[in-house]
Amino acid sequence: MRHAPRMAERAHPPEVQNRANHDVRPYGDGVTEPPEASAAAEPPDPAARTGSTGAEPGTPPSTGPGTTGAPGAQLSAEPRTAEPRTAEPRTAGPRTAGPRTAGPRTAEPRTAGPRTAGPRTAGPRTVTARATAAGVIVSALLILAIVLGSRLLENFDSALLPYAVATVFLAFGVAYRYTVWVSAPGARRLFKQGWRSFFSVANFRKAPTALPRMIATYLGFQKFLGARSHARWAAHQLIFWGCILASLITFPLTWGWFTFTSGSGSGPGYEMRIWGFKIIGFDSLDFLGWLMFHGLDIAAVLVIPGASYFLWRRMKDRGAVTGQRFAYDLVPLIALIVISVTGLLLTFSSIFLHGGGYEFLAVLHMVSVVFTLIYIPFGKFFHIVQRPAAVGMQLFKYTARQDQEVLGCRRCEEPIDTGPYVDNLRGTMRDLGLDFDEWAEYCPRCKRVLRGSAYLSQVKKGFK
């Protein structure tokens, strides 16, 4: 791309770069498009106009001669070699064009996150420094909160020290990753717009219930997952509420914020205290007491079926299996199941085995929890941190829609999205050096039709 020198240097061989100096203007002055308004009135989804499915089997790809460097195999002035393709990330120089192997691709995936930061974004070094600073500040604040919340470690349970240390690492990792994430142009702009909508008094006056409603339906009950699949929604709800319950219990416990004291020294009357202040008194032998002491078992009972369903699906569902990665897709589920099962076994050991094997199980449980906490910022679990930010995006769109600021396609006038949203996207595209941002004001279908008619009128007249 000419306007992104970094990319052009990397990807275009010299012959292609020289094309920029070609003295013939490609395909005339511009692109025309069909004048018929009727085309615009068509439904955008071609699937709505399904035709015959009884077409004859088409032409399967030929495996004829010339698969390696046949004469006339030059493509768009790019030199092609006969070497087999490699799975390495592409670099400058001639690209290879040999046949692919028939085995599954094992290439390491790349993400388009910080790597794609364009010329108008903060440099990677600045982002790293900022992210490190954020990580250090957040973890220092957490340590301070642990010390103060446990009354200068008076209530701190030293048996839970590894968990507490893991949460400090977790705090660093989440703050670091979050900062890197919101530094990329797409996330940064929506992040700002989300907070702007959140803090807008005018928005609040117009729709005071919008935000709580979105938090409840989107983050709490996850209605959007129901639209994907009812079974996945149910399984995710089980995991979600189980994890929420477990987090609410274990995090304050490991930080020394929760304490249970008994006036008599041995019960059955207990007091639950937060930061040393009494919150509730209960009898450990009644139902409330049972709930208090088995909260984590309940959480495990919720998580195990949910995570097991997803694990089963990851082995059976052909859609889920496509492109599935062990570390990203399977490890989180295995981790959840291991944590839950070892946690339940602790209860089993204390009730039925008189504490037999308790120490070993406690260490196994601790190791699995510590691993999972430290894994959170790097893998699939990061969606726990990312997803709430999406409420900001929804609020941003919702408030603009309330103000009737919907932008129609410049050609067919079908609504695209809200005007402020499209402006925001155009800004993101310019940040990234994608200089065709004007195109964002056309609906996808009109983009395709305009490209098709340009091809029809300028490349292959009448498609001949």
Partner 1 sequence: MMGRTIFIDPGRCIGCQACVSACRECDSHRGKSMIHLDYTDEGQSVASLPTVCMHCEDPVAPCAEVCPADAILVIADGVVQQADTTRCIGCANCVNACPFGVPKIDLQAKLQMKCNLCYDRTAYGLAPMCATVCPTGALFYGTVEELQAERPGVQVADTFTFGRSEVRTGVAMVVPADRVRWPVPGGLPVVEINGKDVRR
Residues 42-71 that bind partner 1 (CB under 8 A): 42, 46-47, 49-53, 55-70
Is there binding between residue 237 and partner 1 (CB under 8 A)?
Answer: no
Residues 6+ positions from 162 with CB-CB distance below 8 Å: 366, 370
Closest CA to 120 of 445, 459, 430, 435: 430
Residue 393 sits in the site that holds partner 1 (CB under 8 A): yes
CA torsion 166-169-171-173 (nearest 10°) is: -130
Nearest distance, CB of residue 212 and partner 1, angstroms: 19
Residue 23 in contact with partner 1, rule: CB under 8 A: no
CA distance 1 to 19: 12
- Minimum distance from CB of 334 to partner 1 (Å)? 16
**What kind and span of H or E run contains 95?**
strand 95-96
Residues 89-118 close enough to bind partner 1 by CB under 8 A: 89-90, 95-105, 107-113, 116, 118
Q: How far is 27 from 78, CA to CA, in rounded Å?
A: 20
One residue of 181, 240, 309, 398 binding partner 1 per CB under 8 A = 181
According to DSSP, the residues that pair with 408 across neighbouring strands are: 415
Stretch touching partner 1 by CB under 8 A, among 202-210, 239-247, 369-377, 416-424: 416-424
User: CA-based angle 322:328:332, to the nearest 5?
Assistant: 120
Q: Which region, judged by CB under 8 A, interacts with partner 1, from 264-272, 314-322, 345-353, 357-365?
A: 314-322
Decide: 173 and 374 in contact? Cβ < 8 Å: yes
Q: Contact between 205 and partner 1 (CB under 8 A)?
A: no
How far is residue 343's CA from residue 294's CA, in Å, rounded to a whole number?
Answer: 11
Contacting residues for 454 by C-beta, under 8 A, at least 6 apart:
27, 31, 32, 33
Q: Which of residues 243-302 bind partner 1 (CB under 8 A)?
A: none
Minimum distance, C-beta of residue 339 to partner 1, in the bound complex (Å): 19
Q: 221, 224, 312, 378: which one contacts partner 1 (CB under 8 A)?
A: 224
9 touches partner 1 (CB under 8 A)? no
192 binds partner 1 (CB under 8 A): no
Options 19-27, 143-151, 160-168, 263-271: segment touching partner 1 (CB under 8 A): 19-27
Both tokens of residue 96? 């290879």
Residue 383 binds partner 1, judged by CB under 8 A? yes
Question: Contact region for partner 1 (CB under 8 A) — 17-25, 150-158, 162-170, 290-298?
Answer: 17-25
Q: How far is the CB of 106 from partner 1 (least distance, A)?
A: 9
> Could you tell me the smallest distance in angstroms from the CB atom of residue 40 to partner 1?
7
Question: How buried is residue 170: exposed, middle or buried, by Cβ count under 10 Å (0-12/13-18/19+)?
Answer: buried
Closest separation in Å from C-beta 381 to partner 1 = 9
- CB closer to partner 1 out of 184 and 338: 184
Q: Is 454 in the site for partner 1 (CB under 8 A)?
A: yes
Least separation in angstroms between residue 92's CB and partner 1 is: 11
DSSP 34: -
With CB under 8 A, what is the number of residues at the site for partner 1? 144
Residues 81 and 13: beta-carbon distance below 8 Å: no
Q: Of the ranges 74-82, 130-138, 271-279, 341-349, which one interacts with partner 1 (CB under 8 A)?
A: 74-82
Cα dihedral sign for 222, 223, 229, 233?
positive
- Tokens matching residue 280: 């509730």
Q: Which of 180, 307, 186 minimizes the C-alpha distance to 243?
A: 307
ω into 377 cis (within 30 of 0): no
Report the alpha-carbon distance of residue 119 to residue 433 in Å, rounded.
Answer: 7
* Sheet (strand 269-274) strand order: 258-261, 269-274, 277-283
Please identify, among the stretches 163-171, 253-261, 356-364, 410-418, the one whose residues bind partner 1 according to the rule CB under 8 A: 410-418
Q: Map the footprint of partner 1 across residues 324-343, applying CB under 8 A.
A: none
> Contact region for partner 1 (CB under 8 A) — 6-14, 124-132, 160-168, 355-363?
6-14
Alpha-helical (H) ranges within 150-209 are 161-183, 185-199, 201-206
Between 220 and 356, CB nearer to partner 1: 220
Stretch in the footprint of partner 1 (CB under 8 A) among 158-166, 222-230, 276-284, 362-370 = 222-230
Q: At closest approach, how far in Å is the CB of 408 from partner 1?
A: 12
Nearer to partner 1, 30 or 263 (CB): 30
Selection from 47, 89, 257 nearest residue 163 by Cα:
257
